[in-house]
Each structure stands twice: as C-alpha cells, then as structure tokens.
A and B are shown apart, each in its own frame.
Chain A
Amino acid sequence: MAEQGRYLYAVCRGLTPAAVDGIVGLGGRRLDLVAEDDLVGLVSPVDLDEYGEEGLRRNLERLEWLEEAARGHDAVVQAAAAIAPTAPTRLATIFYDDDAVRQRLREQHDAIVAALDRVEGHEEWSVKVLTRTVDASPEPVAVLASGAEYLRAKRAEQEARLAGDRDAHVVAEQVHEALVAVVAASRRLPPQDPRLAGHEGTMVHNAAYLVHRERSEEFVALVQGQTEAHPDVVVDARGPWPPYSFAMLDDT
C-alpha cells in the first residue's frame, strides 16, 4: 500500500543481475540493477513510509533503526564490493524511480568513473591504536585508610594514564608511518567514542587505509609486525571493508 522509493546502495561497474542473485536488500527486498552507460546502480525498493522525508526524520533518531539500516546497507555494499568495482553511496540515498537514478548517474558519470578508477582492485582496512588499560591496580585503592591517600593514588593513576597516552601517540605515528609504505591512500578518522565503539583505553589513532588486494597480505604482515614491535599499545586492524573512505566524488 505504501508508496515505494528506490534505495541506491552503490554504483558499480560490470555487475550483472546473475552476480547479485542471492544478495538481499533492506527489509529483505530484492535487489535490482539500474544500468546507465558503463555504470550500474544497485537499488532495492523501500517503503516511503519508512524512508520518505517524514519517516527518515523520525527513524534516524532511533539508534536501533539506524543500526539496522546501516548494517543492511553495509551488507549489500560488502557483497557487491566482493564481485565488482564498487563506489558505496552514503546511507539513505533515495529516488522515486529508476529513471531518476539513471539521470543522476548520467549527470555524475565522469566523477563516479574517476572514483571507481581510484578504488578498483583495492580494499579498505581500518586500523586503530589504543592504549592498554591500566586498571589492574595491585592494591585496591578503596581500602586505603585516609582520603588523602585515596586522592593521591587517584592522581598518580591519572598522571600515569596521561603519560601513557602521550607515548601512545608517538607509537601511533610510528605505526601509521610503517603502514603507509604499502598503501595506495590513507585517511585519518576522528577517534571513536567508547560509548558507541565499546573499547577500553584511549583511542589515539583511527585511520582507514586503501590497500591493493595483491598487497593485503603484506599489509596484514606489517600490522602484525607493528603489534609485536609495540606491546604497550593495542593495534586493532579490521578488514577488509569496501572502500567507503576512498570512494568520493571530486566535485563534492
């Protein structure tokens, strides 16, 4: 009953309908390909109740909804990126019909092609450097007799943490320098908030690295080497991701 829109997940090159068979869109809906010249838009139908202006305004405020949409979007992008050069679009890129999708692909053709050229054959890795938490204090502070001792212990703990963070920043730079040697591009991202990311320790480095598929093993080996070289910090590398952080249009 609800009016339908077309949700665009990504723009790809050389994607065939057979290749996306079995990939499921948001809300379990089927995926369709919208071709324009050498580009293919990956779309699925969405209810405009949910994804229209009103719906989005309401739903984007709800973290559970947002999480489901983000994971659904990512799942499709991930599947596409595994089989074809893929430029992911930003969450909630919605059109009224396929003609509108085609028109936009036509208008932005050259910029999209340039973005695809940049990421083709590459994948993204996320690398974070975190301080190790020093919470395992040998003597439980709580049983100290006086308030003064308690405060002193607290201050010492805080100072140790600050010094540790400074060192960790230096280490993070070394890790970054080592990694950029084998990557096509890198982008620093803001540190994540622990309340959302759930990490412990201080995130002193958060970056995305664009790595050619043929150099992935080398990159992973480098990360491994850095982890061993710097036992004082946690080097957290995850991937491969679709090239989200490197697929952008030059004119935006």
Chain B
Amino acid sequence: MGTTDLLISQADRRPMYLQIIEQVRRRIAVGDWPSGYELPSIRALAAGLQVSVITVKRAYLELERDGVIVTRQGRGSCVADSAGLSAGLRHAELDQHLGSAAAVGRSLGLTAEELVARLRDLVAGKDEEQR
C-alpha cells in the first residue's frame, strides 16, 4: 500500500487539501487503512502526489484535529484507534448537520445569534427530556 493509493485529480476544482482528506477518510472507512496504520510521511506523500508539502501538512492537521489520525512527535502519523476514529467521524457528521442548519437558518433570515439561541433551547430541551 503506497502513496499511489491516493488519487488527486487536477480537474477537480475542490482544494487539494480537501481531496487528500477525503481520500484518507475513504481508505479508512473502506478498511484499507486499519487502526494504527502508519500514514506516509508528509514529504513522501507530497512527492508522491506532486503537491506541495504545505498542502499535505494542512490536510494532516485537519485530519488530526478531527481525531481521524494521531501524530506523534518525531514518529509521523497513524490512523487513530476505533474509539478516536468514531469520535472523529461523528465530529465530521456533526459539522455536516450544523452546516445544513446554518444554511436553513440563513434562508430563513436568522442571524448567527438567533441560531445559537435556538440551538441552546434545543439542547436544554433535550437535556430535560433525558432527565
């Protein structure tokens, strides 16, 4: 399994780093890259894909922020274990939902503050339900 597993398309107008993130997630979701699998080093991946180092760095940073991968100082990055993975995936899912909510809110003409207040109410309501 090498860097050539990832396919970056020049024709795709989405930013390069997003394509990399998506490809990494797909590999993980499909099972090609199991937990603990060592990702290629940032420079090796950059050379393999012929994209700049800074782009790969950004992709890895976001993947780490989302808990999909874990970076150890001086030892590169590897796929997070299942617990971290699920958390990461669920975080991504949350972002998606929130994004949709924001879009609906905008079309309704709500401001950010109104949207947040709405969310707060809903959270409070859910908490009440759970008690």
Are chains A and B native binding partners rather than an unrelated pairing? no
Residues of chain B having any CB pair with chain A under 8 Å: none
